[in-house]
Amino acid sequence: MINFPLIFFGKVLSALSKQANIGHGSTWPGHIALRVNKSIINELIEKNNIKIILIAGTNGKTTTSKMLKSILEKAGFRVLHNASGANLLNGIASALLLHASTTGKLPYDYAIFEIDENIFPVVVKHLIPAYVMLMNIFRDQLDRYGEVRSIADKWKSAMETLPRSTKFILNADDPMIAWLGSGAKNDISYFGVADSQKKEMEHAADTIYCPNCNTKLTFTSVVFSHLGVWECSKCFLKRPKPTIQSYSFYPLPGSYNRYNVHAAVLTARMIGVNEASIKLGLEGFEPAFGRYETITYRDKKIKILLSKNPTGFNASLRAVQEEKAKYILFALNDQIADGTDVSWIWDVDFEEFLPGFTEVFVSGNRAFDMGLRLKYAIEQMTRLDSAERANGIHSASHSTLRDEPSGSDSKSSESPKWQIEESVNKTVSAAIEMLPKNETLYILPTYTAMLEVRKILTGKHIL
Amino acid sequence: MKDLSITVGWLYPDLMSTYGDRGNIICIKKRCSWRTIDLRVEPITAETTIKKLEAIDILFGGGAQDMEQEIVMNDLRGKKSTIIRKQIEKNMPALFVCGSPQLMGNYYEPAEGKRIEGLGIFDMISKHPGKNAKRLIGNIIAEVQWENLTDRHPEPRFNRGNRSEGSNQIDSSPLAQNDSLIVGFENHGGRTYLGTNVKPFAKVVKGYGNNGEDETEGVVYKNAIGSYFHGPLLPKNPHIADWIIQSALSQKYQEDIPLTPLDDTLEWRAHRFIANRMGVEL
């Protein structure tokens, strides 16, 4: 039974919190509503016959959600989308209350919820999803999320509590995700990426031993990290055959976005969306904040690629390398939302990508840690000329011996020039100032640094 | 000058490299290459021959997740552990960070499941106080107890940064008085208690260290160091990196080989950031 006074009360609270400018992301009306009625979410969803799509994974949640939302909307569905966060349930309840009429009617057909690694088991206690999309599991913020294996175990238990009606969309190329599907009785569809030529595995690969029997897996090809065509020689667990592994149109570059597109297209097809709407939906897709977002600022072109863990960072570097990027800015913060431990930067393969850049700007409150990582990734870095120093930008000194043996001279001409400055604001301004007209500045920030960068470039807070 | 070369054995790089651990290998390799010392990295895996293991000059181990830990220990027990123990007795420098020192101790009691017997290189025990116990997470700063390191040089020779660099006086700080500090990050559930046959590597200044109780951080036996610092311990602590390199050279060539000083301005800058963040003025 829906509690009408509660909905009304929740709506008043939401309106008040908006009025008081506490922020769009306020979750406390939902918190209070859930305290009063634990099953409010489920009741509202059932009453309105809204189908829930959950999406979990270390990387790709936001972009894939937005792609799927765009497709479903092109097909005429009304879609509610909620980004991930620690207070996800409160957030969902708040969002539902905000949009519900006082009689509890909601104008949505589908709701897409992004869920953090640890939240998945909690969420399925409160609602029954029609679809669950599991993208990948990589090492990310061990201080918050824990180890790859323990996340997978939690997900497996959570999956077992769901009824047969829930359909799963799983990544065949990630052994840990495919393993989750191996014993399930539910309807499972797999996506993957068609064979790549790459055989070498990056350092930041996590699942290289069989999740079932601990034997080292054989990879016949690798797309990136531990995603690829794999099998176990002992227990014969192997990459399931994907229903989809290529598509005719990709709105964003980078192989990681192929996974995102395939997952969105596969889910849309399972829902019954026609091919024309899928294509139109992807063509009309706009990247989410900081996820390959392009901004024009003072007639200069800037692209922002959120890069918050080793696999995501490598993927960003590969994407900008494919675009022959010359001007690059790294912004490393260590706020709670970024992860307070910045050790992971040593798992990023900078060695492979740095020589292609001409100017490297390093900023964020952990700028010196990032600078140090870069120093150890390259033969020699040369500081930018002294003009920048006058503007308050510190330039790091030559990182190598002054009496370096000859022969490295030829290398130094290929090495990028660099500068380090903790202030993101100063660094972004300086980088844009010196950016030639026809070039693009690529910014690879962690989460809170991305918010800072956007604030500078758009003048707006997004949270 | 003759051509110098050393080999670092890296324990199970694909199993024991949880979170930036390879930063230590990158650091040693680069600091050797800048000095034209040839450094080879020898991954120690299930396939590594005894001969190859006997030829290493430095041993490094990083952290492992639970599942991987089991695979590692199954391979390490037996022949490999006998050789490693022998080399450490002969003063080979070694560095174990994150969870790996637990495996080198007498035993480790996890939160759940059976006690894991260690290799017994360090006379110490580790236990996890239970699933609901607080993990010890955060930035950490500790003071190295050089006198506990058995190298022939009680004070390591290292460069404290180029003071004359530029106009912004990056290294005009009185770092010289505090060159025994190490800074980093710890993230562990287990608590370690040292026995009588080993000494602590450092004394905790800010943070938790071995157990959050007795102010000890890490462990030293001969030239082997264990530390709860996880991930890249060496890059922000170049004095420790150079101590390891120098010890390896002295052992291998049986003579005192001074290291060419490097410009470590950036290293000390990153080092100082953590110290300042934790309220320790440098």
Query: A2 to each of A46, A80, B71, B152, how far by Cα in Å?
Result: 10, 20, 53, 78
What are the pLDDT digits (tens) for A104-142?
Answer: 888 999 999 998 888 899 889 888 999 999 999 988 766
What tokens appear for B44 in the block?
């120690």
Domains of chain B are 5-277 (3.40.50.880)
Q: Do B263 and A149 lie within an 8 Å CB cutoff?
A: no
CB of A99 within 8 Å of any CB in chain B? Answer: no
Residue A15: per-residue pLDDT: 66
Question: ipTM of the assembly?
Answer: 0.91
Distance CA B56, CA B40 (A): 9
Digit-coded pLDDT (tens) for A31-71: 888 888 888 888 888 889 999 999 999 999 999 999 999 99
Give the model's pLDDT for residue B228: 94
Tokens of B216: 């000890």
CA distance A270 to chain B (A): 36
Question: Quick one: pLDDT at residue A363?
Answer: 97
Asked whether the predicted pLDDT for residue B168 surpasses 50, the reply is: no
B165 interfaces chain A, CB cutoff of 8 Å: yes
Average pLDDT of the residues in B116-124: 94
What is the rounded CA–CA span in Å between residue A198 and residue A202?
Answer: 10
Q: Does B230 touch chain A (CB under 8 A)?
A: yes
How do A291-297 and A300-305 pair as beta strands?
antiparallel
Chain A contact present for B273, CB below 8 A: yes
Q: Is the pLDDT of residue B142 over 70?
A: yes
Closest CB to B65 among A147, A399, A400: A147
pLDDT recorded at residue A174: 96
A150, A214, A344 member nearest B71 (Cβ): A214
Domains of chain A, each with CATH number or no CATH? 4-283 (3.40.1190.10), 291-395+410-458 (3.90.190.20)
Could you give the CA distance from residue A49 to residue A61 in angstroms, rounded to a whole number?
24
What pLDDT is attached to residue A202?
79
Checking if the pLDDT of A254 tops 50, the result is yes
pLDDT for res A38:
82
**CB spacing of A394 vs B34 below 8 angstroms:** no
> For the segment B29-43, what is each residue's pLDDT rounded down to a tens digit?
999 999 999 999 999
Among the residue ranges A55-59, A146-150, A333-337, the one predicted with the least confidence is A146-150
Q: Would you state the pLDDT for residue A269?
A: 97
For residues B163 and B272, what is the distance between their CA atoms, to the nearest angstrom? 15
Asked if A404's CB is within 8 angstroms of B34's CB, the reply is yes
Active site residues of B: 98, 230
Largest CA distance in chain A: 81
Nearest to A376 among B30, B70, B269 (CB): B30
**Which chain A residues are closer than 8 Å to B113 by Cβ?**
none
Least confident residue range of A393-397, A433-437, B121-125, B234-238: A393-397
List chain A residues with CB under 8 Å of B71: 209, 214
Q: What is the mean pLDDT of chain A?
A: 85
8 Å CB contact of B266 and A147: no
**B168 reaches A (C-beta below 8 A):** yes
State residue B160's pLDDT score.
42
Average pLDDT, chain B: 87
**Quick one: B179 exposed, middle or buried, by C-beta within 10 A (0-12, 13-18, 19+)?**
middle
User: What string of DSSP letters covers A98-116?
Assistant: HHS-TT-----SEEEEEE-
pLDDT of amino acid B41: 96
Residue B174: pLDDT above 80? no
